[in-house]
Amino acid sequence: MAVPTGRSDKRIPKEVMVELVLPDASQLKEAAIAQNVSARGMRVTTGHVWRPGDSVLLSHTQSGFRTRARVVYCERLEADKYAVGLELEASLGEWAKAK
């Protein structure tokens, strides 16, 4: 039996503002734009380099959604702009589907 590869959750194109904060209460707090989301992850664009494996706090202030997330990757897109893949600790559930 073959083991499935790739993403198990459908990605939904959705651009919303979210906030990323290091959980150690450091000064690093950054607004980011979510480009697409799924129930357990999202890709965001930021102006800061985030290290894979780091834990961050993710929040969407309009909905009140907050969760811890793990940085999966950080790719440079252009000068001072990075794409960051996040694996979420809590499922986005219906928030991911809302328009």
93 vs 6, higher pLDDT = 93
Average pLDDT, the chain: 79
Residues comprising the chain, all counted: 99
* 2 assigned to some structural domain: no
The domain total for the chain is 1
* 98 assigned to some structural domain: no
* 99 assigned to some structural domain: no
**pLDDT at residue 85, as a whole number:** 95
Residue 28: give the domain boundaries: 13-92
Q: Write the CATH number for 31.
A: 2.40.10.220
**pLDDT at residue 25, as a whole number:** 63
pLDDT tens for 37-68 read 787 888 999 998 999 999 999 888 787 888 89
* 6 assigned to some structural domain: no
Give a three-class secondary structure readout of 9-61.
Answer: CCCEEEEEEEEEECCCCCCCEEEEEEEEECCCEEEEEECCCCCCCCEEEEEEC
Rounded to an integer, what distance in angstroms lies between the CA atom of residue 37 and that of residue 43?
7
* 3 assigned to some structural domain: no
Assign 5 a pLDDT band (cuts: 50, 70, 90).
very low
